[in-house]
């Protein structure tokens, strides 16, 4: 009687080994693909953050105006301040001191509402490793002035800023209260990012004023 045709145990084991190898290779490729997609998405999010941040800062500084401001007690304050040593003295109690503070024109709300002011008080600060933009509804800020705080970038370890006027770079800027012509010409802003090095940008001031 002829024997039944079939696979031997060795042949079956070899086939299973090949199948397992192919499956493992497929899983590795899938994992690599997913990791690549996640890395690409993270890179896209970072680039979007950088573009948004640079666009907002550029727009604010280009619309900066030589307009002095008043504090809650009616006293005159500098129209443009920058640099950590000086702005620490201007921060409110319990708040984070801004490294940039100035008045900008061209507020978009004024284009759609006759009652909305065209001027804003804008501040930039480093708060809990995040770059924060504060926009006050009016340039003369009081404790009751509405303010919008927006987180622009996360993972910011430190900030350094310097200002150029004529041929000189300075790390502090304290525009004279009540006088015109106290804006820097250029602002250099450097952000030390966690795991990404340092991002340095140059911005002109008052180009649209």
Q: What is the number of alpha carbons within 13 Å of residue 171 lying toward its C-beta?
A: 5
The answer to the question of residue 42 being in a domain is no
Q: Has residue 101 got a pLDDT over 50? A: yes
The answer to the question of residue 194 being in a domain is yes
What pLDDT digit, counting tens, does each position of 163-188 carry?
988 788 888 887 765 454 578 999 99
The answer to the question of residue 22 being in a domain is no
* pLDDT band, very low/low/confident/very high, at 97 (cuts 50, 70, 90): confident
Q: State if pTM tops 0.85.
A: no
For the chain, the distance separating the N- and C-terminal CA atoms, rounded to the nearest angstrom, is 103
Q: Has residue 81 got a pLDDT over 80? A: yes
The answer to the question of residue 4 being in a domain is no
* pLDDT band, very low/low/confident/very high, at 68 (cuts 50, 70, 90): confident
pLDDT at 95: 63
Nearest residue to 79 (alpha-carbon basis) of 55, 97, 100: 100
pLDDT at 73: 72
pLDDT at 89: 42
Angle 43-45-51 from CA coordinates, rounded to 5°: 100
Q: Has residue 34 got a pLDDT over 50? A: yes
The answer to the question of residue 49 being in a domain is no
pLDDT at 19: 74
The answer to the question of residue 162 being in a domain is yes
Exposed/middle/buried for residue 56 (C-beta within 10 Å: 0-12, 13-18, 19+)? middle
Domain that includes residue 112, residue range: 55-204
Q: How many domains does the chain have?
A: 1
pLDDT at 141: 83
- When comparing pLDDT for 185 and 28, which is higher? 185
What pLDDT digit, counting tens, does each position of 123-165 carry?
999 988 899 999 988 888 888 888 889 999 999 999 999 998 8
Distance CA 47, CA 115 (A): 36
Please answer whether residues 119 and 105 qualify as being in contact, where contact means their C-beta atoms are separated by less than 8 angstroms: yes
The answer to the question of residue 31 being in a domain is no
The answer to the question of residue 176 being in a domain is yes
Q: What is the chain's mean pLDDT, rounded?
A: 79
Distance CA 61, CA 77 (A): 18
């Amino acid at each position: 009687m002829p024997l039944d045709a079939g696979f031997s145990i060795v042949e079956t084991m070899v086939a299973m080994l090949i199948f397992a190898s192919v499956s493992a290779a497929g899983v590795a490729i899938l994992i690599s693909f997913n990791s690549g997609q996640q890395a690409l998405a993270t890179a896209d999010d970072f680039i979007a953050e950088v573009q948004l941040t640079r666009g907002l800062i550029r727009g604010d500084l280009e619309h900066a105006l030589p307009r002095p401001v008043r504090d809650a007690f009616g006293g005159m304050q500098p129209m443009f301040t920058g640099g950590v040593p000086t702005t620490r003295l201007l921060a409110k109690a319990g708040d984070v001191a801004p490294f940039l503070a100035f008045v900008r024109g061209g507020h978009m709300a004024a284009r759609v509402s006759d009652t909305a002011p065209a001027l804003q008080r804008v501040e930039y600060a480093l708060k809990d490793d995040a770059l924060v933009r504060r926009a006050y509804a009016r340039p003369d800020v009081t404790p009751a002035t509405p303010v919008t705080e927006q987180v622009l970038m996360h993972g910011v370890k430190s900030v350094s800023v310097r200002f150029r006027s004529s041929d000189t770079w300075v790390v502090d800027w304290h525009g004279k209260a009540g006088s015109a012509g106290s804006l820097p010409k250029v602002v250099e802003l450097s952000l030390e990012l966690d795991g990404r090095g340092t991002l340095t940008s140059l911005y002109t001031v008052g180009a649209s004023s």
